[in-house]
């Protein structure tokens, strides 16, 4: 979203690109094409992903009919994006502009991988310890480095844990890591981990 535009706005502005992030037609059509391919793939799977109805109630009542209708709507409605993509492919520099659709996604995948590790960590070392580690990793990855930011990250995590784990009493299973310690450790710290 554009932070500010230096002109007097009118209702027509709602339709101008100034109020959207800059997206090249190549990137937009490439992104649309990917969603279109997903819909097409779902349609191809339709015969294998549904079974015929048990009673003859007419085609509209068949289990396959509604997914078929909505996927056709999606494919027909979004077909123009695919045509755009095919048309724009002839232009020089298409690949570079189309690749802009994925710009920044590498960082997002890195954060997603950290999130995935966090989910796994919750099952292994418990919510609190996993959250502390995850928060520190996120701060480091995003460029918030140094003792000051580490302490801020720790404080934010402790606040979240106190609010949700202790305050609201959200349940998490006792982490397996507790098996490595005497029982009293798990009994004493279980509700905070």
| Window 133-172: residues binding other proteins (CB under 8 A) | 134-135, 138-139, 141-144, 152-153, 156-157, 160, 164, 168, 170-172
The answer to whether 95 contacts other proteins (rule: CB under 8 A) is no
The answer to whether 183 contacts other proteins (rule: CB under 8 A) is no
Alpha carbon distance 72, 65 (integer Å): 11
Tell me how far, at minimum, the Cβ of 184 lies from other proteins, in Å. 26
Nearer to other proteins, 139 or 175 (CB): 139
User: Residue from 85, 88, 122, 193 that binds other proteins (CB under 8 A)?
Assistant: 122
Query: How far separated are the first and last CA of the chain, in Å rounded?
Result: 39
The answer to whether 3 contacts other proteins (rule: CB under 8 A) is yes
User: Residue from 88, 101, 125, 193 that binds other proteins (CB under 8 A)?
Assistant: 101
Tell me how far, at minimum, the Cβ of 192 lies from other proteins, in Å. 15
Nearer to other proteins, 147 or 183 (CB): 147
Give yes or no for a contact between 97 and 124, defined as CB atoms under 8 angstroms apart: no
The answer to whether 190 contacts other proteins (rule: CB under 8 A) is no
Nearer to other proteins, 37 or 185 (CB): 37
Tell me how far, at minimum, the Cβ of 40 lies from other proteins, in Å. 11
Write out the two tokens for 103: 């710009």
Query: Residue 53 to residues 6, 59, 66, 73, 167: CA-CA distances in angstroms?
Result: 60, 9, 13, 23, 50
What is the footprint of other proteins within residues 7-36 (CB under 8 A)? 7-15, 17, 19-21, 23, 27-28, 30-32, 34-36
Q: Where are the alpha helices (DSSP H) in the chain?
A: 25-49, 65-88, 94-99, 105-125, 127-142, 147-160, 183-189
Residue pointed to by tokens 């349609």: 43
The answer to whether 50 contacts other proteins (rule: CB under 8 A) is yes
Q: 72-99 b/e with 16+ CB inside 10 Å = b? A: eebbeebeebbebbeebeeeeebeebbe
């Amino acid at each position: 979203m554009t932070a500010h535009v230096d002109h007097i706005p009118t209702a027509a502005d709602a339709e101008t690109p100034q109020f959207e992030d800059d997206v090249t037609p190549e990137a937009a059509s490439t992104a649309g094409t990917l969603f279109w391919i997903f819909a097409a793939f779902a349609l191809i799977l339709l015969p294998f992903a549904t079974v015929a109805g048990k009673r003859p109630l007419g085609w509209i009542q068949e289990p396959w009919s509604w997914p078929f209708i909505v996927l056709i709507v999606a494919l027909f409605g979004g077909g123009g994006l695919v045509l755009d993509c095919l048309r724009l492919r002839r232009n020089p520099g298409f690949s570079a502009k189309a690749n802009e659709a994925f710009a920044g996604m590498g960082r997002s995948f890195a954060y997603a991988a950290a999130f995935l590790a966090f989910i796994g960590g919750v099952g292994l070392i418990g919510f609190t310890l996993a959250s502390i580690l995850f928060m520190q990793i996120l701060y480091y990855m995003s460029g918030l480095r140094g003792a000051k930011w580490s302490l801020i990250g720790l404080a934010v995590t402790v606040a979240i844990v106190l609010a949700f784990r202790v305050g609201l009493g959200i349940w998490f299973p006792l982490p397996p890591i507790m098996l490595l310690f005497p029982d009293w450790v798990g009994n004493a710290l279980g509700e905070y981990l």
